[in-house]
Chains A and B, each alone.
Chain A
Amino acid sequence: MTFFLEQLIIGLSSGGIYAIMALALVMIYKSTGHVNLAQGEMAVFSTFIAWTLVQMDVPIWPAILLTVAVSFVGAIVLERVVVRPFAKADDLVVVAVFVGLFLSIHSLAGAIWNYEVKPFPSAFSDGSISLMDDLSIRAHTLGSLLTTGAVLTAVWFFFRYTRLGLALRAAADNHESSRLVGINVSVMLALGWGLAAGIGAVAGVMIAPVTFLDPGMGLAPLIFALAGALLGGITSPFGAALGGLIVGVLEAMVSAYVPYGIEFRELIALMLILSVLLVRPAGLFGEIVTRRV
């Protein structure tokens, strides 16, 4: 039983990471209609900024807030300068731009901060909380799960109940019609990028204390976050976050209980997800996006 609970906690711990990252993906998808493949690298870059601030003796919480703000502005600039010129281009071209961004941001982070693994302080406490004999949970895991919940609530509330959220969704859905009803699509796209990067920065500072910080840190979480987002439905913040948690727990359970599961855990987890998507292509909680042609 203890072993099972321990695996569950491990799964929730990585699932929580995937969940926040999935929320960043949902954010950008809902406001621009694209999946930003460079989201993970942007999050890592933000985390390095936070790390630099911490090295300069800025306390962790102000450092995180400052990083979120810097990431928000930085992503808006990035969207303006790099992504906007391709706004009318084919989807494949946009994917190529994202791959390019991915590689450039990765190399830039490596060039500035080098590739050595760096410890990153937890925003919560470094200790762990004992649940019962032989079973404890890192304070950080608990904290990052709560953070995921808070970010999820905020994102959901934003899209569901604010005019701005509605305008963002509209802009992503149909540029022309949105413009006709008076939505400034250009501002909305920039805002979408900014908010996604802000969430990504939160994801980064939650991941780094667990995996350590290095330029390669963003890739694994991004892949599994994407899987989680697709599983839960990339149009639904709640679905995507839940999807992220499911992927994390599935991964841990498969490696603990399936023979040779450790070797094949990624494969098995991704296959299960594929099977779900065969039945429900929009994901468990996603809406099918219909477009008038």
Chain B
Amino acid sequence: MLKSTTALVLGLTLASGAMAATYDKGASDDEIKFGTIVPLSGPASAYGSTGTCIAAYFDMVNDKGGINGRKVSVSVQDDGYNPAKMLEQARRLVEREGVLFIAGNIGTPTNSAIHRYMNQRKVPHLFLTTGASKWDDPENYPWTMPYIPSYAAEGRIYAKYIKENMPDAKIGILYQNDDFGRDYMDAFIDQLGDESMVVSAVSYDTSAATVDSQMSTLKESGADVFFNVASPKFAAQAIRRAGEIGWDATQFLVSVSNAKSAVLEPAGLDHSTGIISTQYLKEPTNPAYAEDADVQAWQAFKAEYFPKASDGNWWDWSCYSTAYTIEHVLAQAGDELTRENLMKVASNLEGFEAPMLLPGITVNTAADDFAPIEAMSLMKFDGDNWALFGDVIAVD
């Protein structure tokens, strides 16, 4: 009896509280608490600096007085790039630490592990750094939203360019036989609209030693455009092999694998000259942006709050853009710091100019569009650096 009365009273208090209050768990008059889960250890630990970056960004925000008078506290957790650990950390943040939301996580397999959990719990799972196209699914997963352009969007951008500029292209595709490879390829072929343009598509498994025999098959097919949808090691092998067997196709290389030090240098810079890839961020090292306000702001932030940042790691400046967008959403949410309102604000960004995005690229979301960035610029490797060319290409 006593128990049920207590429960009733508690229930009534909660119900009346919910009507009047503008806070969900994790927010109060003087604090907003959120979490971010990144690989601080393990095989992907290089990307762990994004966690440090987001925490550092909000240190800066707090030093400037916080958001609408509230301090922001960021709880950075380590998942070791292990899906099981990711779930454990998400539960810890949501159930024990009681964060308002989780944002800025890295990785497709890891975020997949908490996709259902976050949506069942109705806790915002925002601005993920992963390119899988499955995150843009507001109908089934209304609490999850990525940040960076999806593999699918990128695939469409290449297809659009090829269709407009090389309509007679005979395309050969090398792709990894998993979701990553298929995301790119399916969207690419869909955007081409004409499957016959693809004369050969061969896959490889990540357990393979090399992709040499795939490359001979592609060359043999007579393709004159090579779409390289491979993860860094295999992308480098493919580029080197294309050079060795003298296959002089126009090469398109997915952005996942366009790092100079990790892919192009191992493959050989001479073999890499002329490769086309995409970019949506301003590279701080690019002399063209030395005077750019965004880049200067990032440099100042780096100097004071994030000294560990590396100019060569895109995620060390992309996280700045992500953190800025998180701040914007929190500021817009005003005093109504509920999980529902956060999703409402996050899915109603129109032409929002987040820093570090290339001119002409903005953040756009809607209730039925959870893909914030869907425009990229093409760039070509000149043997030493990537150089942007042409207009920004947008897809939807």
A interface residues, Cβ below 8 angstroms from B = 3, 6-7, 10-11, 13-14, 17, 107, 110, 114-119, 128, 134, 136, 138, 207, 210-212, 214-216, 219-221, 223-224, 251-252, 255-256, 262-263, 266
Contact = CB atoms under 8 A, between A and B. Distances in A.
Nearest to B202: A262
B168 interface: no
Contacts of B15: none
Interface in B254-296: 261-263, 265-266
Contacts of A128: 244
Nearest to B231: A117
A249 to B, nearest CB: 11
Contacts of B44: 115
Q: Range of interface residues on chain B?
A: 20 to 34
Given A256-B217, A263-B177, A116 B46 contact: yes
B236 interface: yes
A221 to B, nearest CB: 6
A79 B45 CA distance: 30
A255 B262 contact: no
Contacts of B266: 117-119, 212
Interface in B17-67: 42-46
A14 B210 contact: yes
A14 B212 CA distance: 9
Contacts of B213: 7, 10-11, 251-252, 255-256, 262
Contacts of A221: 209
A223 B46 CA distance: 28
A138 B245 CA distance: 10
B73 interface: no
A116 B217 contact: no
Given A6-B216, A7-B216, A138-B244, A117 B209 contact: no
**Which 8 interchain pairs have the tightest Cβ spacing?**
A119-B266, A220-B209, A117-B233, A10-B212, A255-B213, A115-B43, A252-B213, A10-B213
Given A136-B244, A251-B213, 4 more contacts: A10-B212, A114-B46, A216-B233, A263-B177
Contact of B210 (A110, A210, A214): A210
16 contacts: A10-B216, A17-B209, A114-B46, A117-B232, A118-B266, A136-B244, A210-B209, A211-B210, A211-B237, A219-B207, A220-B209, A221-B209, A256-B217, A262-B203, A262-B217, A266-B207
